[in-house]
Amino acid sequence: MSNLPPNEPNPYLNDPNSGTAPAANPYAPSAQTSLNPGVGGEVEQIRRYHLNHEASVKSIGTLYMLGTIFMVPISLFMLASAGGGGLGPEERIVIAVLAMIYFGLGILQGFTAVGLWRLRPWARIVAIVLSVLGLLAIPIGTIISGYFLYLLVSEKGQTVFSPAYQDVIAQTPHIKYKTSLIVWILLGFLLLLILLGVAAAVFGG
């Protein structure tokens, strides 16, 4: 039973018609949570949270550009050799076709590299296709391409290619990134494979 008089309002009830807001609960959890704890504003926290992933994605572009530097001259050399003497018509056609494929892939990788450096969404799609094809190069190519696919299709990978993240980058020009250690290791493997291929072509021929 209530001890209040029948005409007295209950002071513990919140009247929706009154202008008084309900008292805040000091034990209620905060309604706003940051993407990643750290120093600085929310935009800086978002940038720093994705910074390593951003650096790794851009390093894929560096590897692609390295491939362009090697593939384009090699394709031109193959075209020149196809036009030389000592080869039959069928051999010339095969070498010329391979040279054009190498040249096309080299140019495609070059454009994709620039797109990845600028975090363009179309470059992400092209890189995913190239990485799927790279899975067939067992075993090293499978490992490298698998890591590339993780960087490109993961949640962070989707975020760094979004227009909203471009605005974050524009607001945080003072935050710089460094190339991922894993990417440097992959780069070393790639250079080693190229050197082994060149050595095999020179000394094996």
Domain presence at residue 127: yes
Residue 29, token pair as written in the block: 């959890």
One-character DSSP codes across 100-142? HHHHHHHHHHHHHHHHHHTT-HHHHHHHHHHHHHHTTSTTHHH
Of the candidates 141, 164, 72, the residue with the CA atom closest to the CA atom of residue 109: 72
Greatest mean pLDDT among 18-32, 90-104, 167-181, 186-200 lies in 90-104
Domain presence at residue 19: no
Domain count, the chain: 1
Q: Rounded mean pLDDT of 19-36? A: 43
Q: Which domain holds residue 137?
A: 42-195
Domain presence at residue 188: yes
* CA 25 to centroid of chain Cα atoms: 43
| 18 DSSP assignment | S
Domain presence at residue 166: yes
| Per-residue pLDDT reduced to its tens digit, 80-103 | 887 776 777 888 888 889 999 999
CA gap 47, 124 in Å, rounded: 19
Domain presence at residue 123: yes
Domain presence at residue 190: yes
Q: For position 141, what pLDDT does the model report?
A: 84
Domain presence at residue 67: yes
Domain presence at residue 176: yes
